[in-house]
Amino acid sequence: MWKRRSSSELQVIDHYQNRMKARHENMKEGERDFNKDKESLVKPVREIVVPGDLLDSGKLKPGDGTYLSNGKIYASQLGIKSIKSNFVNVIPLGGPYIPSPGDSVIGKIVDIGPSNWLVDINSPYPAPLHVTEVPWKVEFGDTARYLNIGDTILAKVLLVDETKRVQVTMKEQGLRKLQGGQIIDISHSKVPRVIGKGGSMIQMIKSYTNCRIFVGQNGRIWLDGDIENIVYAIRAIKMIEEGAQTLRLTERVKEYLESMTRSGLNGKQQ
């Protein structure tokens, strides 16, 4: 469905289409590696939709960021249209983080009660952490000895009910209090891009910078390691956040990290 578009958007589409066309022609001539180009040809143009845009009026089912009205599917959020296994989704470009059970999140302790802590998980809802949900045996009223205000923890969302009452837990392997390191915030909608397919992106950043990194589903990222390397890792992550919808992102990030870590090493030798 081609609707009326702004000139700037048309420019983008022209850009992509010309490129695709060029690729197609090249392919016909057999000048390029076939497999390399196949992927980019299959990828559709990323279409930005705004609330109220018609997404589909026929066979597809409404997914995230959409709503159904008179049998037609409309976008309910500003984002990018994507079709996956018969569902139309809108991948949001922003919006708050809404917790769902099973999410790994990075939280900050904001309040202490006699039998629970209140954790800020970067969402509109406060998340209590009960003493029965921590890996230590805590006496009543002794909560501050284990976690104090300002501490950061790696936690998991235990349950979320209809009125969005949230509970988090630390009773699982790998969940713990985070000591040292730095925390940065990114938009939670960019988290999948930072992690990459099967963790490829984050693995790459880790191996180039030698940092220990945790990415919370809520858009908080914890990094620990050599201070210079942390700076490079943060820059790489910011790069991913800003260019999340662009082509060739992984390669660009790789090139950046390669050049930065190399020049960083050279700097030390001098």
**Does 192 help bind another protein (rule: CB under 8 A)?**
no
Pick between residue 91 and residue 154 the one whose CB is nearest to another protein: 91
Contacting range for another protein; rule: CB under 8 A; set: 106-114, 146-154, 160-168, 199-207: 160-168
Tokens of 233: 């890792």
The DSSP annotation for 158-192 comes to: EEE-TT--EEEE--STT--EE-SSEEEE--GGGHH
Cα dihedral sign, 91-94-100-103: positive
Work out whether 74 is an interface residue with another protein (CB under 8 A): yes
First to last CA, the chain: 59
For residue 67, how many other CB atoms are within 10 A of its CB? 14
Q: Beta strands 104-112 and 152-160: pairing type?
A: antiparallel
Which residue, 96 or 102, has its beta carbon nearer to another protein? Answer: 96
**Residues near 14 by beta carbon (within 8 Å), at least 6 away in sequence:** none
Position 159 contacts another protein (CB under 8 A): no
Verify binding: residue 22, another protein, rule CB under 8 A: no
Contacts of 126 (CB under 8 A, 6+ apart): 110, 118, 119, 120, 166
Q: Does 164 bind another protein (CB under 8 A)?
A: yes
Out of 18, 159, 259, 265, the only residue in the binding site for another protein (CB under 8 A) is 259
118, 126 in Cβ contact below 8 A?
yes
How far apart (Å, rounded) are the C-alpha atoms in residues 19 and 261?
Answer: 32
Inter-residue contact 146 to 138 (CB < 8 Å): yes
Residues facing 162 on adjacent strands? none
Minimum separation from the CB atom of position 249 to another protein (A):
8
Applying CB under 8 A, among 77, 167, 217, 229 the residue interacting with another protein is 77
Q: Per CB under 8 A, which of residues 80..139 are in contact with another protein?
A: 92-96, 98, 124-126
Binding residue for another protein, selected from 25, 142, 226, 255, defined by CB under 8 A: 255
Q: Does 15 bind another protein (CB under 8 A)?
A: yes
Comparing CB distances to another protein, the nearer of 200 and 259 is 259
CB nearer to another protein: pick between 15 and 43 = 15
CB of 65 to another protein, least distance (A): 7
Question: Could you give the CA distance from residue 164 to residue 105 in angstroms, rounded to a whole number?
Answer: 16
CB of 255 to another protein, least distance (A): 6
Q: Name which of 131 and 253 has its Cβ closer to another protein.
A: 253
User: Distance (Å, rounded) from C-alpha 3 to C-alpha 175?
Assistant: 48
Among 35, 85, 86, 163, indicate the residue that binds another protein (CB under 8 A): 163
Q: Which is nearer to another protein, 61 or 165 (CB)?
A: 165
Q: Which two tokens stand for residue 102?
A: 């099973």
Binding interface with another protein (CB under 8 A): 4-6, 8-9, 11-12, 15, 46, 48, 50-53, 65, 67, 69, 74, 76-79, 92-96, 98, 124-126, 162-164, 189, 242-243, 245-248, 251-252, 255-256, 259
